[in-house]
Structure 1
Amino acid sequence: MLELLTLLLPVAAASGWYAAARHHGRNLSAGLNDGLQRAYQTPTDTAIGARADEAFHLLRQIADSSAKTLELQLALGGLLRRSGELSKAIELHERLHSQPQMSDEQLHAIRFELGMDYLSAGLLDRAETVFAGLTATASHGKASLQQMLAIYQSEKDWVRAAECARSLKKFDAGQRNATLAHLLCEQAESAIARGETVAAHAHLQQALAEDPRCVRATLLKSRLALQRQQWAEAGTLLRSVEFQNPAFLPEVIGQLRLCHASLRDMDGYLTYLDYVYQRYRTEAAALLLADELAQREGAPAAASYLTGLLSERSSLNLIRRTLHYAGAATCIDGDCLSILRRCLTALDGLASMHPGYGCVQCGYECRELHWHCPTCRAWETIQPADPGVGFSGKTPATTPS
């Protein structure tokens, strides 16, 4: 018996923390999560995982009075869930829920833990039902809505996810709602795919009302304007991204060329590229400007421009493009030209290894833009990476759901 009691020491520690959290009026579920995390960090966590059966049966023997040992049992249930013993965690929480003499607050805590069990087991329908029944409670309303939001996002049910995000607004009144803005953008993209541009525009207007800094909504509005060949409107929208988040300018300046070319204002385009580089040191702007110079004035002008930039900063892409235009601008004998081409091929290979985009919150790297980080589940934290300086380090637009 003494050995088994030692086995339960982490559980007792977690339940003690849990009781203290309740005494100080802290959120019940948050206290449990922190307490369980501490319990797992004890040296005996391996024993808990390996001997969960013994701990589980021992607790059932000593827990005759549910009201007196609730904290201990909830702590053990959380440990069972975290160690993968989901059936035992579900059995424990279902048994607790069926016992009499429980207060409403205790029942809410048990139901929430049961919902987390179902969620961990992949029983999303059951988890959703449990969390839906807790959304009106003071102790678990916000946490339950957050879990439902995560479920709907995983199922790509953007309409119900947006409803949850709207309900969560009451807990963060007055703050911009980046999550809701992106959920509305998801609905707009679905509407665009169906050819329902009026509905898409309405969703995008709502998204910008929720979060005026939502770059995605602006880019989608510019896409609709480009489809209608409304070049001036599209150009205005694309330029406004600078004031929402200049880290996304590399996504914009290429599309702006079409607007300026259609309006026969290429001088204005070159001026804007120079402005973007001088103001933000956006490498993509410098490379596009070099390409335009090469078309207008030839490879020597582009090589000269890029060589001047290399004295200020250096990056793989700048070196590649400089060598490309330098090689095209000069007469090189066959052997030297072959060497130059081999060097450029090697540099191209190195450049292809660059991820292109990265999450400023968790560091996830990818080759194309994702608005929802697949690792940390945050919205609009993946940004274009400047090859010369890395990621911008901008404060994330929203925390994980």
Structure 2
Amino acid sequence: MDWTWILIGSLAILTGCWWSLSRRHADQQARPSLRNIPPEYLKGLNYVLNEQQDKAIEVFIKMLEVDSDTVETHLALGHLFRRRGETDRAIRIHQNLIARPSLPEDERFLALLELGMDYMSSGLLDRAESLFKELAGTRTYAVQANHKLLEIYQQEREWDKAIDIAQKLQTLNGHNLDPEIAQFYCELAEQNLTAGSKTVAQQHVRRALTIDPDCIRASLLEAENARLEGKIGLALKILQRVEKQDPDYLPEVVAVIVACYRELGQVDDCMHYLQHIVSKYGGMTPLLYLTRLIEETRGEKAAIAFISQELKRRPSVRGVDKLIEYVLGMAEGEIRDNLQTIKEMTAKLLSSSPVYKCKHCGFDAKQLHWHCPSCKQWSSIKPVLGVVGE
């Protein structure tokens, strides 16, 4: 038996009793006695305690025909059913509430909002959208309804509509949604790139950067387009902008930055740039790329000496893994076997560790998501820091 649910449900019902009876008898007594509780409430409560939810719902719905003051209790019960995943029961409760012609307007709007959320939980997004559009025109529930519409349009990947709603919300409540709107434009850009509409995609990227100049994703899209057009110098300049936008994302752009420098034949400049990044921000990804360039230009021994010195300052599993890779080529016999065992251990540790983590909810990932699959926040997933990360 789910005692937690029963306790919550019972409290909700009794709270409804208290509220209803207090309103009716406020002038007669300070608080209702148990004798004043309608027998229908006790009957419904008994059904809840015996986990006979269907019969309990029938009792409470019939009570609406007698006393509309029980609306709050039914809304609470419907909310509980939805939270339990029993959306069909929640829908039934809220539909019956809305069907009451005598239901006050404000309570009808609240029931519509709850029904819309029932539909969302059931995956009936078209029905939910219709209700939220109606509520978006009300003064009381405009903000809540538009927030729900924004959720729907993001889920359905209708980015034009999402942009429109986000802009309305900024007007309604004054909250800054520019970073989210920029992400929506990036989504549109990627859709158009997939469809072959390169010019339109570029327009969306420029719009994203106009709205949010610190949008990393838009910079990456802009740099990718510049590279495809053979504008390597421009691409490099765009990618180096990431340092000022958000240095947490530098590990994401290092590989492309190094590739641009190579195409331009500027390996020495690349090494100076990476040294600057490593000294100012740290990060194992730029350090490993710098180690590779040192190996190419100065030899393996110089690379080993460099990474060994850096690991003393910032211990890292990735760094140790790379160092072992170097030393394995020189080791023999039992020492080589032992190093190989350690290499296998570091490889397993790295393969089982997340590369990215959401700063908002802690969601772990192996690849970068601009939209967190768990908490649905934008730009909240970043490279993991620490011994097994950057």
TM-score by length of 2: 0.85
Where does 1:1-400 land on structure 2 (aligned, <5 Å)?
Answer: 8-13=10-15, 47=48, 50-65=51-66, 67-173=68-174, 175-328=176-329, 330=330, 332-388=331-387
Helix, strand or coil: the match of 1:383?
strand
Q: 1:174 to 1:10 in 2, by over 3 A?
A: closer
Partners of 1:232 and 1:51 lie apart in 2 by 71
Partners of 2:153 and 2:52 lie apart in 1 by 35
Counterpart AA for 1:13: T
Partners of 1:156 and 1:183 lie apart in 2 by 9
Q: Alpha-carbon deviation of 1:177?
A: 1.8
Helix, strand or coil: the match of 1:235?
helix
Partners of 2:346 and 2:19 lie apart in 1 by 56
Helix, strand or coil: the match of 2:357?
strand
Does the aligned pair in 2 maintain the 1:8–1:55 contact within 8 Å?
A: no
Structure 1 unaligned residues grouped into runs of 5+: 21-43, 392-401
Partners of 1:240 and 1:211 lie apart in 2 by 13
Computing the radius of gyration over CA atoms, which structure comes out larger, 1 or 2?
Answer: 2
Does the aligned pair in 2 maintain the 1:223–1:234 contact within 8 Å?
A: yes
Q: 1:85 to 1:340 in 2, by over 3 A?
A: closer
Identity of aligned residues (%): 31
Provide Cα deviations, 1:34-79, integer angstroms capped at 9, x if missing partner: xxxxxxxxxx9x9569232232122234333454222222222222
| Higher mean C-alpha displacement, 273-282 vs 203-212 | 203-212
Does the aligned pair in 2 maintain the 1:356–1:366 contact within 8 Å?
A: yes
Provide Cα deviations, 1:135-187, integer angstroms capped at 9, x if missing partner: 12122112112212222222222222222222222134372522211111011
Helix, strand or coil: the match of 2:344?
helix
Q: Alpha-carbon deviation of 1:212?
A: 2.0
Partners of 2:184 and 2:277 lie apart in 1 by 30
Compute the RMSD of aligned alpha carbons: 2.8
Provide Cα deviations, 1:332-368, integer angstroms capped at 9, x if missing partner: 3344334333432332222222221111111111111
Q: 1:236 to 1:68 in 2, by over 3 A?
A: same
TM-score by length of 1: 0.82
Structure 2 unaligned residues grouped into runs of 5+: 1-5, 23-44
| Higher mean C-alpha displacement, 95-104 vs 305-314 | 95-104
Q: Alpha-carbon deviation of 1:194?
A: 2.0
| Higher mean C-alpha displacement, 85-94 vs 124-133 | 85-94
Q: Alpha-carbon deviation of 1:207?
A: 1.2
Partners of 1:191 and 1:268 lie apart in 2 by 35
